[in-house]
């Protein structure tokens, strides 16, 4: 493809992309292809000789788009949003063009320096404590990671190394230090509430450390929040068992219900556990910190070690763009640099030169700061704030509509950050769980909107979350109407409705979740009683944040 | 930015991108901005209100491009190439458009299914053994990762878990199993040759396991290759020390000298170490396997566990696109899924449904298969092979020119895969090391071409590697002329030349390397003797793959 061919191809692609965005609402939001749909549509291997772009482009519409779940559709109310924006797309375009590996400063100084600059801009927008800025005395700063899960794994590794080396710094020899570390490696334990996203568990698995989940209480009037006293109790129990608590994830906006942990009550506990690395997972809700009414929240974070939010969720920056901040970059570099510390330049730890490869798991990195820069400039602070305010207003409207239909719906937790979690109201919990699931599956099977479900404290609930820039009040109105009519239909049905396509061998066979982490496939169930039984088994299995995807219930 | 504004902005961006590519040869290949150049050029924070695209776009030329090192320039002969291509850019454009998180199949079935399909296409192009295909009986398959370093870390974690759990499967209780694992976790050790890329060491640091580097011999006529006997010796020594060897990286094309380990002699050793996970790192040179003359190489890989090559290096697919293949996907899923195995669907392990989140460290993932698909179709197999053949032919030409000037240059290892490693010839090694470094730094300081250096077995050498699609024979001719005239100039100089800007406090202060991993900053040196001393110190420190970047030698 030469330059002229590329100009024609790219212009044609841009037209297709604009058309896709302008008409996205008319597409079925969640793909309903069957597993394996694509292979028969493609040849068994690449062509021997070049194909023209026109042939490739036409295959996008005919072969790829049927298999796309349209995350940018205003009818996408599932998981959390993954905002795209035109300036974000342009950022990806230029990043692909420069295509430098950016593992160190010299690979493209602009890539490193713009990242430092825009992450400082973002830190101030979010009102993070000064200690997380690149200019802080303590040597903090931000780095773009691919995902919150990657960010969390990275800080778990840094925390593990900090903890282990703190055990071994008593003027002993290298061999003695190593022995101390070896003897204690298996005693390390990370903590999190049972509402914490599974990425902390996964990070622990990768880092090879134990983990402990703290059950937190909640209700329709109090969200499921980790508090200082609950944390202290777990810390003491673990210590008694001979384990070393070294890491804690606290959350600003849990995946299931957007709970905000009680940071203020957690801070005093840390005085007794000075070596505990505290990470704030604000992957989704962190974006709301750019609004004045939330800017008091980050004040306690100055007592914590790291903070993460994803611009690629709710802040109009295309995936991937997860912004991780640390209070002391030295801890990242100590764990992740392959240079022995005696050969490292103190300047790089002080921020004169930053080699971001030592702040992350991979070596190479894309030039992702460009898209943040484009987005911030194209929207301005007012535009970004306006977007978040819109989402919040829509969320409040939706929650109010649910409350107004207290005859058929119950609110499960206090609505927060554009998320409403609710269930079908019946006298008996088992019946509610079952009906909510049936409504949820029927709605997704129709495919006019895409929603997610969750199981919270034994309650099967529907999650509706806005946040997409294309969402308008009338779109949400329609979504609510769909939910109401499905619910009324199910409540009226005299007999248990038969579920489609779920008549194979029985049993719980697959799990997945509201952020993809837990999913249950109930095969062989064809009556509500059987679905109910399946849900019960899953709830008993104690897996947090469960959802059951209707469209996954097929073979 | 609405659709009309985006159309205008994107068309203008495409024109700028084409112009950039068409004139890239005229730009200074390596950026010569000073650290911190960008901050004074940008405002202290994002604008309050939206800025028009025209303002943003003009800043790309004036503020960003001076800080770009032009990896796509034909004068870029450093590190390894990171090929961009127009079809690859279009792939990134559509990926950014769909912008789905793709953590499981339903997030966008097309993203998962196209990935499986094109990775099977690639496996066949590379002539990988059948066991690495998604259709294999053993349940193998490929997955796109961000970088080779991420891929290697991923398989180290999988190998660690496989090994530890194999110790504990003697019908014991869960608690007993855990105890066995706890007691052995610190005894695990990974192996690699001292020519292996540092990402294996970094992966070990992340996984929290020990590592052992095997010194391998080499010369101007034999590359630095790991053999079965050398491996066996190390395995035996480690075992005697009470350690458990669990992982080995072998390399097809080492970073320093493109050595290919002796796979055939390693295979029989594995009979005595059946639990040793063997990973093939073919990050750069793996691309050459698409040519018939290399297709015999992968045959022994059927005895190994995983294989990785980066399409984003030499195969025209924009960064990031690292293709990892495993023989048994179950081992990845066992280590990385957060679902307990008793709740997992055997179907997903057999490939009926693939949730790639369980094959990688992060949860979310971009739709990277699109760019592979676009590249393979736009070039066709003939186009891809033609590109690799061109690079190889250019590499052979360059190596011959070096040989033809045996009066001033010595070949350090046999040229391989478009890479030539050579040094300035003098009677005494120390003098050669010093002069080679001086030539290297002077060439990069002039900035007409960008090359990398390495230290191999005490020899300071210059690496010139092609692989970029814009490289032509006359470009390389010019690069060679530059190297010859700089060398002749330095050889003729009666006095040791003073080096620019290296007159600060003395000592080795910073390290970095040919793939970014090791870098030495010699500050406070102003004479060749002092540079020589600094190089010597570094060589003595025994860090493999060292380079000294002239432009980094500044404060």
The tens place of each residue's pLDDT in chain B, 555 residues long, gives: 999 999 999 999 999 999 999 999 999 999 999 999 999 999 999 999 999 999 999 999 999 999 999 999 999 999 999 999 999 999 999 999 999 999 989 899 999 999 999 999 999 999 999 999 999 999 999 999 999 999 999 999 999 999 999 998 766 788 889 999 999 999 999 999 999 999 999 999 999 999 999 999 999 999 999 999 999 999 999 999 999 999 999 999 999 999 999 999 999 999 999 999 999 999 999 999 999 999 999 999 999 999 999 999 999 999 999 999 999 999 999 999 987 655 554 445 455 678 999 999 999 999 999 999 999 999 999 999 999 999 999 999 999 999 999 999 999 999 999 999 999 999 999 999 999 999 999 999 999 999 999 999 999 999 999 999 999 999 999 999 999 999 999 999 844 444 433 323 233 333 334 444 444 445 445 455 555 555 555 545 544 333 333 332 222
Q: Do B1 and A85 touch (CB under 8 A)?
A: yes
What are A235's two structure tokens? Answer: 């810390």
For A99, the closest of B42, B71, B382 (CB atoms) is B71
Q: Do A380 and B72 touch (CB under 8 A)?
A: no
For B99, the closest of A14, A72, A511 (CB atoms) is A72
- Homologous superfamily of domain range B3-73: dopa decarboxylase, N-terminal domain (1.20.1340.10)
3-state secondary structure of B434: helix
> Which residue reads 């194209």 in tokens?
A378
Which residues make beta-bridge pairs with B411?
Answer: B422
Q: Compute the count of residue pairs across chains A and B with CB atoms less than 8 Å apart.
A: 473
User: What pLDDT, on the 0 to 100 scale, is given for residue A508?
Assistant: 38
Query: Which residues are CB-contacts of A526 (< 8 A; sequence separation ≥ 6)?
Result: A498, A499, A502, A503
Asked if ipTM goes beyond 0.85, one says yes
> Residue B249 and residue B251: Cα distance in Å, rounded?
7
Judged by average pLDDT, the poorest of A99-103, A308-312, A327-331, B521-525 is: B521-525
Ordered by start, the domain boundaries in chain B are 3-73, 129-362, 405-552
* Residue numbers in A near B15 (CB within 8 A): 7
* Residue numbers in A near B36 (CB within 8 A): 113, 352
| Strands ordered across the beta sheet of A409-411 | A409-411, A419-424, A459-465, A452-456
CATH class belonging to A3-68: mainly alpha
Query: Which residues are CB-contacts of B308 (< 8 A; sequence separation ≥ 6)?
Result: B145, B148, B151, B152, B155, B279, B280, B281, B282, B283, B286, B322, B323, B324, B325
Burial label for A385, CB within 10 Å (0-12, 13-18, 19+), is: middle
Q: Do A208 and B205 touch (CB under 8 A)?
A: no
> B31, B57, B108, B109: which to substitute to probe chain A, counting the most A Cβ within 10 Å?
B109
Largest CA distance in chain B: 77
> Residue B326 and residue B145: Cα distance in Å, rounded?
12
Check: CB of residue A373 under 8 Å from CB of residue B45: no
pLDDT at A526 over 80: no
* Residue numbers in A near B161 (CB within 8 A): 205
Topology of the domain comprising B405-552? 3.90.1150
Q: Which of B191, B291, B186 is nearest to B233 (CA)?
A: B191
Burial label for A527, CB within 10 Å (0-12, 13-18, 19+), is: middle
> Residue B264 and residue B280: Cα distance in Å, rounded?
13
Q: Do B101 and A110 touch (CB under 8 A)?
A: no
> Residue B508 and residue B487: Cα distance in Å, rounded?
25
> B95, B512, B515, B542: which to substitute to probe chain A, counting the most A Cβ within 10 Å?
B512
CA A494 to chain centre: 40
CA B538 to chain centre: 23
Query: Which residue of chain A has the CA closest to B89?
Result: A96
> Residue B525 and residue B506: Cα distance in Å, rounded?
6
For B110, the closest of A64, A186, A382 (CB atoms) is A64
CA distance B458 to chain A (A): 18
> A244, A362, A451, A510: which to substitute to probe chain B, counting the most B Cβ within 10 Å?
A362
- In the Cβ-directed half-sphere of A40, how many Cα atoms lie within 13 Å? 5
Q: Do A376 and B47 touch (CB under 8 A)?
A: yes
Burial label for A192, CB within 10 Å (0-12, 13-18, 19+), is: buried
CA distance A486 to chain B (A): 23
Q: Do A512 and B355 touch (CB under 8 A)?
A: yes
Query: Which residues are CB-contacts of B84 (< 8 A; sequence separation ≥ 6)?
Result: A96, A97, A99, B71, B72, B316, B318, B319
Length of chain A: 555
Q: Do A109 and B31 touch (CB under 8 A)?
A: yes
Query: Which residue of chain B has the CA closest to A45?
Result: B121
Query: Which residues are CB-contacts of B457 (< 8 A; sequence separation ≥ 6)?
Result: B218, B224
**Could you tell me the CA-to-CA distances from A64 to A59, A202, B95, B367 in Å, in that order?**
7, 31, 11, 11
Topology of the domain comprising A101-366? 3.40.640
* Residue numbers in A near B335 (CB within 8 A): 205-206
3-state secondary structure of B177: helix
Q: Which of B514, B539, B510, B505 is nearest to B454 (CA)?
A: B514
Which residues make beta-bridge pairs with A459?
Answer: A456
* Residue numbers in A near B447 (CB within 8 A): none
- Within 10 angstroms of residue B43's Cβ, the number of other Cβ atoms is 9
Inter-axis angle of helices A148-167 and A199-207, nearest 10? 50
Q: Which of B313, B107, B98 is nearest to A92 (CA)?
A: B98
DSSP label of B64: I
CA distance A127 to chain B (A): 13
Work out the pLDDT band at A172, boundaries 50, 70, 90.
confident
* Residue numbers in B near A49 (CB within 8 A): 380-383
> B59, B62, B69, B201: which to substitute to probe chain A, counting the most A Cβ within 10 Å?
B69
Average pLDDT of the residues in A330-356: 72
For B348, the closest of A99, A105, A510 (CB atoms) is A510
pLDDT in tens, A220-279: 999 999 999 999 999 999 999 999 999 999 999 999 999 999 999 999 999 999 999 999
CA distance A404 to chain B (A): 32
User: What pLDDT, on the 0 to 100 scale, is given for residue B350?
Assistant: 52
Q: Do A5 and B150 touch (CB under 8 A)?
A: no
CA distance B113 to chain A (A): 6
pTM as predicted = 0.91
CA distance B268 to chain A (A): 31
> B516, B540, B552: which to substitute to probe chain A, counting the most A Cβ within 10 Å?
B516
CA distance A58 to chain B (A): 12
* Residue numbers in B near A246 (CB within 8 A): none
* Residue numbers in A near B14 (CB within 8 A): 6-7, 10-11, 14, 93
> Residue A147 and residue A151: Cα distance in Å, rounded?
6
3-state secondary structure of B303: helix
> Residue B117 and residue A39: Cα distance in Å, rounded?
7
> Residue B309 and residue A358: Cα distance in Å, rounded?
22
Strand A409-411 with A322-326, pairing: unpaired
Q: Do A46 and B381 touch (CB under 8 A)?
A: yes
Q: Do B202 and A363 touch (CB under 8 A)?
A: yes
Q: Do A117 and B11 touch (CB under 8 A)?
A: no
CA distance A157 to chain B (A): 6
Alpha helices (H) along A99-254: 109-125, 148-167, 174-184, 199-207, 228-240
> Residue B261 and residue B253: Cα distance in Å, rounded?
8
- As a whole number of Å, the end-to-end CA separation of chain A is 41
Residues A404-438 as b/e (b if ≥16 CB within 10 A, e otherwise) read: ebeebbbbbbbbbbbbbbbbbbbeeeeebbbbbbb
Helix (H) or strand (E) holding B183: helix B174-184
> Residue B74 and residue B476: Cα distance in Å, rounded?
8
* Residue numbers in A near B377 (CB within 8 A): 46-47, 50-51, 55-56
CA distance A196 to chain B (A): 13
> B105, B165, B312: which to substitute to probe chain A, counting the most A Cβ within 10 Å?
B105
User: What pLDDT, on the 0 to 100 scale, is given for residue A45?
Assistant: 98
3-state secondary structure of A262: coil
For B56, the closest of A31, A185, A377 (CB atoms) is A377
Instruction: Compute the radius of gyration of chain A from its Cα atoms.
Output: 25
Burial label for A55, CB within 10 Å (0-12, 13-18, 19+), is: exposed
CA A240 to chain centre: 34
Q: Do A108 and B148 touch (CB under 8 A)?
A: no
Largest CA distance in chain A: 77
Q: Do A97 and B113 touch (CB under 8 A)?
A: no
Q: Do B378 and A56 touch (CB under 8 A)?
A: yes
Query: Which residue of chain A has the CA closest to B109?
Result: A67
> Residue B246 and residue B353: Cα distance in Å, rounded?
30
- Which contacts (CB < 8 Å, 24+ apart) does range B297-302 have? B297/B252, B297/B260, B297/B263, B298/B126, B298/B127, B298/B128, B298/B129, B299/B129, B300/B263, B300/B264, B300/B266, B300/B267, B301/B128, B301/B129, B301/B132, B301/B263, B302/B129, B302/B130, B302/B131, B302/B327
Q: Do A46 and B125 touch (CB under 8 A)?
A: yes
User: What pLDDT, on the 0 to 100 scale, is given for residue B341?
Assistant: 58
* Residue numbers in B near A205 (CB within 8 A): 157, 161, 335-336, 338
CATH class belonging to B129-362: alpha beta
Helices and strands: H and E segment counts in chain A: 16, 13
3-state secondary structure B234-265: HHHHHHHCCCEEEEEEEEECCCCCCCECCHHH
Q: Do B98 and A71 touch (CB under 8 A)?
A: yes
pLDDT at A433 over 60: yes
Q: Do B36 and A352 touch (CB under 8 A)?
A: yes
Angle of CA points A187, A190, A191, to nearest 5°: 135
Work out the pLDDT band at A311, boundaries 50, 70, 90.
very high
Topology of the domain comprising A376-552? 3.90.1150
CA A164 to chain centre: 29
**Could you tell me the CA-to-CA distances from B361 to A23, A329, B282, B369, B419 in Å, in that order?**
35, 22, 20, 18, 32
> Which residue reads 């490939």 in tokens?
B351
Identify the residue with better confidence: B378 or A549: B378
For chain B, the helix, strand and coil percentages under 3-state DSSP, each to the nearest 5 = 50, 15, 35
What are A390's two structure tokens? Answer: 């819109």
User: What pLDDT, on the 0 to 100 scale, is given for residue A498?
Assistant: 40
């Amino acid at each position: 493809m030469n330059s002229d061919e590329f100009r024609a191809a790219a212009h044609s692609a841009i037209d297709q992309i604009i058309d896709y965005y302008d008409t996205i609402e008319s597409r079925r939001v969640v793909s309903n292809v069957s597993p394996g749909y694509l292979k028969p549509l493609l040849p068994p291997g690449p062509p021997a000789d070049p194909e023209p772009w026109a042939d490739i482009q036409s295959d996008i519409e005919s072969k790829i788009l049927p298999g796309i779940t349209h995350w940018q559709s205003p009818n996408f109310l599932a998981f959390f949003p993954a905002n795209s924006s035109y300036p974000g797309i342009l950022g990806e375009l230029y990043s692909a063009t420069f295509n430098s590996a950016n593992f160190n400063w010299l690979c493209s100084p602009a890539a490193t320096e713009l990242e430092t600059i825009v992450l400082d801009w973002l830190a101030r927008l979010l009102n993070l404590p000064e200690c997380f800025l690149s200019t802080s005395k303590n040597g903090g700063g931000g780095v773009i990671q691919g995902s919150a899960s990657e960010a969390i794994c990275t800080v778990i590794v840094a925390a593990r190394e900090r903890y282990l080396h703190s055990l071994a710094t008593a003027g002993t020899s290298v061999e003695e230090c190593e022995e101390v570390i070896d003897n204690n490696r298996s005693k390390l334990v990370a903590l999190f509430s049972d509402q914490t996203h599974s990425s902390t568990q996964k990070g622990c698995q990768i880092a090879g450390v134990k983990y402990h989940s703290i059950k937190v209480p909640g209700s329709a009037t109090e969200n499921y929040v980790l508090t200082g006293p609950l944390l202290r109790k777990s810390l003491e129990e673990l210590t008694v068992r001979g384990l070393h608590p070294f890491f804690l994830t606290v959350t600003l906006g849990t995946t299931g219900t957007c709970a905000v942990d009680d940071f203020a009550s957690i801070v005093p506990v840390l005085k007794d556990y000075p070596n505990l690395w505290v990470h704030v997972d604000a992957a989704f809700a962190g974006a709301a910190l750019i609004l004045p009414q939330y800017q008091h929240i980050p004040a306690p974070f100055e007592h914590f070690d790291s903070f993460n939010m994803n611009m690629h969720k709710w802040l109009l920056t295309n995936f991937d763009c997860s912004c991780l901040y640390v209070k002391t970059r030295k801890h990242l570099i100590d764990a992740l640099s392959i240079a022995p510390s005696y050969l490292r330049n103190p300047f790089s730890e002080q921020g004169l030169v930053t080699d971001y490869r030592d702040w992350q798991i991979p070596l190479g990195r894309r030039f992702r700061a460009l898209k943040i820069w484009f987005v911030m400039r194209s929207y301005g602070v007012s535009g970004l704030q306006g977007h978040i305010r819109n989402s919040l207003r829509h969320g409040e409207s939706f929650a109010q509509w649910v409350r107004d239909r207290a005859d058929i719906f119950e609110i499960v937790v206090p609505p927060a950050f554009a998320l409403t979690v609710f269930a079908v109201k019946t006298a008996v919990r088992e019946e509610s769980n079952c009906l909510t699931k049936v409504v949820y599956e029927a709605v997704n099977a129709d495919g006019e909107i895409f929603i997610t479900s969750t199981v919270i404290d034994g309650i099967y609930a529907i999650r509706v979350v806005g946040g997409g820039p294309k969402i308008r009040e009338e779109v949400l109105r329609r979504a609510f109407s769909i939910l109401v009519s499905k619910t009324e239909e199910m409540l009226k049905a005299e007999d248990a409705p038969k579920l489609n396509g779920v008549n194979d061998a029985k049993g719980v066979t697959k799990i997945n979740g509201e952020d993809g982490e837990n999913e249950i496939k109930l095969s062989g169930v064809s009556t509500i009683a059987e679905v109910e039984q399946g849900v019960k088994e899953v709830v008993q299995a104690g897996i947090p944040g469960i959802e059951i995807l209707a469209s996954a219930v097929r073979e």
